[in-house]
Amino acid sequence: MGEMIDVARSSVQTWQSDQMGHMNVQFYMEHATQGLAALGVHLGLGPRFVAAEQARLIARDHHVRFLREQRPGAPFTIRAGILGVTDFGLRVYEEMWNTVSGEVAATFAADVELLDEDSREVKPLPAKAKAAAKNLIVELPAHGAPRGLTLYAPRPAPKLADAKQLVFTWQGEIQPEQCDTQGYLIARHFMGIVSDSIPNLLGQLQGDDRSKNARVGGAALEYRFHYHRFPRAGDVLTLRSGLKEVGPKTYVWCHWLFDLERGDAIATAEAVAIALDLEARKAIPIPEDMRRKLEEHVVPGLSV
Protein backbone atom coordinates (compact mmCIF):
# COMPACT_ATOMS: atom_id res chain seq x y z
CA MET A 1 0.00 0.00 0.00
CA GLY A 2 1.15 3.53 -0.78
CA GLU A 3 0.69 6.69 1.22
CA MET A 4 -1.54 9.64 0.43
CA ILE A 5 0.14 12.74 -0.97
CA ASP A 6 -0.73 16.40 -0.41
CA VAL A 7 -2.52 17.85 -3.43
CA ALA A 8 -4.03 21.16 -2.22
CA ARG A 9 -3.64 23.67 0.60
CA SER A 10 -5.62 26.83 1.33
CA SER A 11 -7.90 28.41 3.95
CA VAL A 12 -11.59 29.17 4.35
CA GLN A 13 -12.54 32.66 3.19
CA THR A 14 -15.43 34.72 4.54
CA TRP A 15 -16.99 34.99 1.09
CA GLN A 16 -17.10 31.17 0.87
CA SER A 17 -19.41 30.97 3.87
CA ASP A 18 -23.18 30.63 3.62
CA GLN A 19 -26.10 31.63 5.84
CA MET A 20 -25.16 28.81 8.24
CA GLY A 21 -21.84 30.56 8.99
CA HIS A 22 -19.58 27.85 7.60
CA MET A 23 -17.91 27.07 4.27
CA ASN A 24 -20.54 26.22 1.72
CA VAL A 25 -20.51 22.72 0.23
CA GLN A 26 -19.70 23.99 -3.27
CA PHE A 27 -16.28 25.20 -2.12
CA TYR A 28 -15.39 21.83 -0.66
CA MET A 29 -16.04 20.46 -4.14
CA GLU A 30 -13.99 23.23 -5.74
CA HIS A 31 -10.94 22.48 -3.60
CA ALA A 32 -11.29 18.73 -4.20
CA THR A 33 -11.34 19.41 -7.95
CA GLN A 34 -8.17 21.47 -7.64
CA GLY A 35 -6.63 18.59 -5.72
CA LEU A 36 -7.55 16.22 -8.54
CA ALA A 37 -5.68 18.45 -11.00
CA ALA A 38 -2.56 18.32 -8.81
CA LEU A 39 -2.91 14.55 -8.46
CA GLY A 40 -2.86 14.45 -12.27
CA VAL A 41 0.61 15.99 -12.20
CA HIS A 42 1.86 13.08 -10.06
CA LEU A 43 0.33 10.65 -12.57
CA GLY A 44 1.93 12.29 -15.61
CA LEU A 45 -1.42 13.82 -16.58
CA GLY A 46 -0.61 17.42 -15.70
CA PRO A 47 -1.00 20.63 -17.72
CA ARG A 48 1.53 19.69 -20.42
CA PHE A 49 -0.25 16.36 -21.01
CA VAL A 50 -3.62 18.14 -21.10
CA ALA A 51 -2.34 20.68 -23.64
CA ALA A 52 -0.79 18.01 -25.86
CA GLU A 53 -3.56 15.39 -25.69
CA GLN A 54 -6.57 17.65 -25.11
CA ALA A 55 -7.77 15.35 -22.35
CA ARG A 56 -8.02 15.65 -18.56
CA LEU A 57 -9.18 13.75 -15.49
CA ILE A 58 -12.84 14.48 -14.70
CA ALA A 59 -15.07 12.96 -12.02
CA ARG A 60 -18.19 11.10 -13.20
CA ASP A 61 -19.44 10.16 -9.71
CA HIS A 62 -18.73 11.69 -6.30
CA HIS A 63 -19.33 10.50 -2.75
CA VAL A 64 -18.64 13.25 -0.21
CA ARG A 65 -18.79 13.24 3.59
CA PHE A 66 -18.67 16.40 5.72
CA LEU A 67 -17.23 15.49 9.11
CA ARG A 68 -16.53 18.88 10.69
CA GLU A 69 -17.76 22.30 9.68
CA GLN A 70 -15.09 24.72 8.49
CA ARG A 71 -15.47 28.38 9.39
CA PRO A 72 -13.69 31.47 8.02
CA GLY A 73 -9.97 31.51 8.72
CA ALA A 74 -9.55 27.75 9.07
CA PRO A 75 -6.39 26.47 7.31
CA PHE A 76 -6.68 23.16 5.50
CA THR A 77 -4.77 20.68 3.36
CA ILE A 78 -6.11 18.04 0.97
CA ARG A 79 -4.31 14.74 0.50
CA ALA A 80 -5.11 12.06 -2.04
CA GLY A 81 -4.59 8.42 -2.91
CA ILE A 82 -5.93 5.86 -5.37
CA LEU A 83 -8.53 3.24 -4.42
CA GLY A 84 -8.62 1.43 -7.76
CA VAL A 85 -7.26 1.47 -11.33
CA THR A 86 -8.83 0.28 -14.62
CA ASP A 87 -7.91 0.85 -18.25
CA PHE A 88 -10.33 3.75 -18.51
CA GLY A 89 -10.55 5.21 -15.05
CA LEU A 90 -9.51 5.59 -11.44
CA ARG A 91 -11.27 5.52 -8.10
CA VAL A 92 -9.70 8.48 -6.30
CA TYR A 93 -9.84 9.25 -2.59
CA GLU A 94 -9.21 12.72 -1.16
CA GLU A 95 -9.60 14.06 2.33
CA MET A 96 -9.51 17.60 3.66
CA TRP A 97 -7.90 18.05 7.07
CA ASN A 98 -7.21 21.03 9.30
CA THR A 99 -3.55 21.94 8.90
CA VAL A 100 -3.20 22.82 12.60
CA SER A 101 -5.33 20.27 14.45
CA GLY A 102 -4.96 17.40 11.97
CA GLU A 103 -8.70 16.68 12.21
CA VAL A 104 -10.34 15.43 9.02
CA ALA A 105 -13.01 17.88 7.83
CA ALA A 106 -14.33 16.15 4.70
CA THR A 107 -13.73 13.16 2.44
CA PHE A 108 -14.23 12.68 -1.30
CA ALA A 109 -14.32 9.39 -3.20
CA ALA A 110 -14.69 9.82 -6.94
CA ASP A 111 -14.92 7.65 -10.04
CA VAL A 112 -12.66 9.55 -12.42
CA GLU A 113 -12.16 9.15 -16.17
CA LEU A 114 -9.77 10.64 -18.72
CA LEU A 115 -12.10 12.63 -20.96
CA ASP A 116 -11.55 14.47 -24.23
CA GLU A 117 -11.73 18.16 -23.33
CA ASP A 118 -14.13 19.09 -26.13
CA SER A 119 -16.23 15.99 -26.87
CA ARG A 120 -16.12 14.55 -23.32
CA GLU A 121 -15.55 11.09 -24.80
CA VAL A 122 -13.62 8.62 -22.63
CA LYS A 123 -9.98 7.95 -23.49
CA PRO A 124 -7.79 5.07 -22.22
CA LEU A 125 -5.37 5.90 -19.45
CA PRO A 126 -1.71 5.87 -20.56
CA ALA A 127 0.29 2.92 -19.23
CA LYS A 128 2.63 5.25 -17.32
CA ALA A 129 -0.34 6.89 -15.59
CA LYS A 130 -1.74 3.51 -14.54
CA ALA A 131 1.66 2.44 -13.20
CA ALA A 132 2.02 5.69 -11.24
CA ALA A 133 -1.51 5.31 -9.87
CA LYS A 134 -0.79 1.80 -8.63
CA ASN A 135 2.05 3.21 -6.54
CA LEU A 136 -0.50 5.43 -4.76
CA ILE A 137 -3.01 2.69 -3.89
CA VAL A 138 -4.53 3.22 -0.42
CA GLU A 139 -7.32 1.61 1.56
CA LEU A 140 -10.52 3.56 2.09
CA PRO A 141 -10.49 4.67 5.76
CA ALA A 142 -13.59 4.11 7.85
CA HIS A 143 -14.29 7.85 8.06
CA GLY A 144 -14.45 8.00 4.25
CA ALA A 145 -16.89 5.10 3.83
CA PRO A 146 -20.61 5.65 3.20
CA ARG A 147 -22.65 6.08 6.34
CA GLY A 148 -26.09 7.49 5.63
CA LEU A 149 -26.15 6.59 1.93
CA THR A 150 -25.83 3.35 -0.04
CA LEU A 151 -23.61 3.56 -3.12
CA TYR A 152 -25.75 1.50 -5.48
CA ALA A 153 -25.55 1.60 -9.29
CA PRO A 154 -27.33 4.72 -10.60
CA ARG A 155 -30.86 4.33 -11.95
CA PRO A 156 -31.48 4.93 -15.67
CA ALA A 157 -31.24 8.66 -16.26
CA PRO A 158 -34.64 10.24 -15.54
CA LYS A 159 -36.46 12.65 -17.83
CA LEU A 160 -38.02 15.92 -16.76
CA ALA A 161 -41.42 14.34 -17.37
CA ASP A 162 -40.58 11.75 -14.67
CA ALA A 163 -40.24 14.45 -12.00
CA LYS A 164 -43.90 15.46 -11.60
CA GLN A 165 -43.96 14.49 -7.91
CA LEU A 166 -40.86 16.55 -7.15
CA VAL A 167 -40.58 20.21 -6.16
CA PHE A 168 -39.34 22.89 -8.56
CA THR A 169 -36.42 24.36 -6.60
CA TRP A 170 -33.98 26.09 -8.98
CA GLN A 171 -33.71 27.25 -12.58
CA GLY A 172 -31.19 29.36 -14.44
CA GLU A 173 -28.84 29.84 -17.36
CA ILE A 174 -25.28 28.58 -17.05
CA GLN A 175 -22.87 31.51 -17.11
CA PRO A 176 -19.39 31.46 -18.70
CA GLU A 177 -17.71 32.14 -15.34
CA GLN A 178 -19.25 28.91 -13.99
CA CYS A 179 -17.46 26.87 -16.65
CA ASP A 180 -14.01 25.57 -17.54
CA THR A 181 -11.95 26.76 -20.50
CA GLN A 182 -13.99 24.55 -22.85
CA GLY A 183 -17.23 26.05 -21.60
CA TYR A 184 -18.43 23.07 -19.53
CA LEU A 185 -20.00 23.51 -16.09
CA ILE A 186 -17.46 22.69 -13.37
CA ALA A 187 -18.13 20.36 -10.42
CA ARG A 188 -18.33 23.19 -7.90
CA HIS A 189 -21.41 24.61 -9.58
CA PHE A 190 -23.29 21.31 -9.80
CA MET A 191 -23.06 21.31 -6.00
CA GLY A 192 -23.70 25.05 -5.86
CA ILE A 193 -26.99 24.72 -7.76
CA VAL A 194 -28.27 22.15 -5.28
CA SER A 195 -27.08 24.23 -2.32
CA ASP A 196 -28.76 27.36 -3.69
CA SER A 197 -32.02 25.43 -4.10
CA ILE A 198 -32.41 24.41 -0.45
CA PRO A 199 -34.07 27.61 0.86
CA ASN A 200 -36.71 27.30 -1.89
CA LEU A 201 -37.15 23.62 -1.11
CA LEU A 202 -37.69 24.19 2.62
CA GLY A 203 -39.84 27.22 1.96
CA GLN A 204 -42.21 25.31 -0.28
CA LEU A 205 -42.39 22.18 1.85
CA GLN A 206 -42.62 23.69 5.32
CA GLY A 207 -42.94 27.44 4.99
CA ASP A 208 -39.48 28.09 6.45
CA ASP A 209 -37.79 31.35 5.41
CA ARG A 210 -34.14 30.93 6.38
CA SER A 211 -33.54 34.67 6.25
CA LYS A 212 -35.84 35.00 9.27
CA ASN A 213 -34.65 32.03 11.32
CA ALA A 214 -31.42 32.76 13.19
CA ARG A 215 -31.66 29.88 15.67
CA VAL A 216 -32.18 26.66 13.69
CA GLY A 217 -30.65 25.88 10.34
CA GLY A 218 -29.40 22.80 8.57
CA ALA A 219 -26.23 21.17 7.32
CA ALA A 220 -25.31 18.40 4.89
CA LEU A 221 -23.50 15.37 6.26
CA GLU A 222 -23.09 13.38 3.08
CA TYR A 223 -23.63 13.73 -0.69
CA ARG A 224 -23.65 11.45 -3.70
CA PHE A 225 -23.50 13.02 -7.16
CA HIS A 226 -23.71 11.16 -10.46
CA TYR A 227 -22.94 13.24 -13.55
CA HIS A 228 -24.90 12.04 -16.58
CA ARG A 229 -23.50 14.67 -18.96
CA PHE A 230 -21.82 18.06 -18.81
CA PRO A 231 -23.81 21.18 -19.75
CA ARG A 232 -22.18 24.21 -21.34
CA ALA A 233 -22.43 27.96 -20.94
CA GLY A 234 -25.79 29.18 -22.22
CA ASP A 235 -27.69 25.99 -21.38
CA VAL A 236 -30.76 26.54 -19.19
CA LEU A 237 -31.00 24.04 -16.35
CA THR A 238 -33.85 23.25 -13.99
CA LEU A 239 -33.79 21.34 -10.70
CA ARG A 240 -36.45 19.13 -9.17
CA SER A 241 -36.07 17.93 -5.57
CA GLY A 242 -37.85 15.51 -3.28
CA LEU A 243 -37.59 13.90 0.12
CA LYS A 244 -36.49 10.27 0.06
CA GLU A 245 -36.72 9.43 3.77
CA VAL A 246 -36.89 10.92 7.27
CA GLY A 247 -35.01 9.35 10.19
CA PRO A 248 -34.75 10.22 13.90
CA LYS A 249 -32.01 12.81 13.35
CA THR A 250 -31.41 12.94 9.61
CA TYR A 251 -33.37 13.24 6.41
CA VAL A 252 -32.38 12.37 2.83
CA TRP A 253 -33.06 14.60 -0.16
CA CYS A 254 -32.91 13.54 -3.78
CA HIS A 255 -32.19 16.10 -6.51
CA TRP A 256 -32.57 15.69 -10.28
CA LEU A 257 -30.97 18.33 -12.51
CA PHE A 258 -32.28 18.63 -16.08
CA ASP A 259 -31.63 20.50 -19.31
CA LEU A 260 -34.85 22.54 -19.57
CA GLU A 261 -34.88 22.56 -23.37
CA ARG A 262 -34.03 18.91 -23.97
CA GLY A 263 -35.67 17.47 -20.86
CA ASP A 264 -32.82 15.02 -20.18
CA ALA A 265 -30.90 14.52 -16.95
CA ILE A 266 -27.68 16.41 -16.35
CA ALA A 267 -26.99 15.00 -12.87
CA THR A 268 -28.73 13.19 -10.03
CA ALA A 269 -27.84 13.49 -6.36
CA GLU A 270 -28.72 12.37 -2.85
CA ALA A 271 -27.89 14.25 0.33
CA VAL A 272 -28.13 13.40 4.03
CA ALA A 273 -28.97 16.48 6.12
CA ILE A 274 -29.43 17.39 9.78
CA ALA A 275 -31.06 20.18 11.75
CA LEU A 276 -28.40 22.48 13.21
CA ASP A 277 -28.56 24.68 16.31
CA LEU A 278 -26.86 27.80 14.96
CA GLU A 279 -26.04 29.14 18.43
CA ALA A 280 -24.52 25.97 19.92
CA ARG A 281 -23.16 24.85 16.50
CA LYS A 282 -24.45 21.33 17.18
CA ALA A 283 -26.75 18.89 15.44
CA ILE A 284 -30.13 18.56 17.10
CA PRO A 285 -33.02 16.11 16.72
CA ILE A 286 -35.40 17.18 13.98
CA PRO A 287 -37.97 19.50 15.64
CA GLU A 288 -41.33 17.74 15.85
CA ASP A 289 -43.23 20.33 13.81
CA MET A 290 -40.54 20.13 11.12
CA ARG A 291 -40.69 16.32 11.17
CA ARG A 292 -44.46 16.27 10.64
CA LYS A 293 -44.18 18.59 7.65
CA LEU A 294 -41.30 16.62 6.15
CA GLU A 295 -42.99 13.23 6.52
CA GLU A 296 -45.95 14.51 4.49
CA HIS A 297 -43.67 14.98 1.50
CA VAL A 298 -41.73 11.70 1.30
CA VAL A 299 -41.70 10.39 -2.28
CA PRO A 300 -41.26 6.58 -2.48
CA GLY A 301 -38.72 5.19 -4.91
CA LEU A 302 -36.44 8.21 -5.30
CA SER A 303 -32.81 7.46 -6.13
CA VAL A 304 -29.71 8.76 -7.86
Domains along the sequence of the chain with CATH: 1-145 (3.10.129.10), 148-304 (3.10.129.10)
pTM higher than the cut 0.75 = yes
Contact 286, 260 (CB under 8 A): no
Side-chain half-sphere CA neighbours of 302 within 13 A: 26
The secondary element (H helix, E strand) that includes residue 175 is none
DSSP for 205-257, please give it: HH---GGG-SSEEEEEEEEEEEES---BTT-EEEEEEEEEEE-SSEEEEEEEE
Given this model, what pLDDT does residue 152 score? 93
Contact 271, 220 (CB under 8 A): yes
The secondary element (H helix, E strand) that includes residue 195 is helix 187-206
What 3-state DSSP class applies to 190?
helix
Given this model, what pLDDT does residue 255 score? 97
C-alpha to C-alpha distance for 93 and 91, rounded to whole angstroms = 7
DSSP for 22-76, please give it: SB-HHHHHHHHHHHHHHHHHHTT-SHHHHHHHSEEEEEEEEEEEE-S---TT-EE
CB atoms within 10 A of CB 56: 23
Cα dihedral angle (223, 224, 230, 235), rounded to 10 degrees? Answer: -50
Q: Which residue positions in the chain have pLDDT lower than 70?
A: 210-217, 278-281
Given this model, what pLDDT does residue 248 score? 81
Q: Tens digit of pLDDT for each residue in 190-204? A: 999 999 999 898 888
Contact 265, 228 (CB under 8 A): yes
Given this model, what pLDDT does residue 213 score? 62
Sign of CA dihedral 81, 153, 166, 214: negative
What 3-state DSSP class applies to 290?
helix
Contact 54, 117 (CB under 8 A): yes
Q: Tens digit of pLDDT for each residue in 100-159? A: 999 999 999 999 999 999 999 999 999 999 999 999 999 999 999 999 999 999 999 999
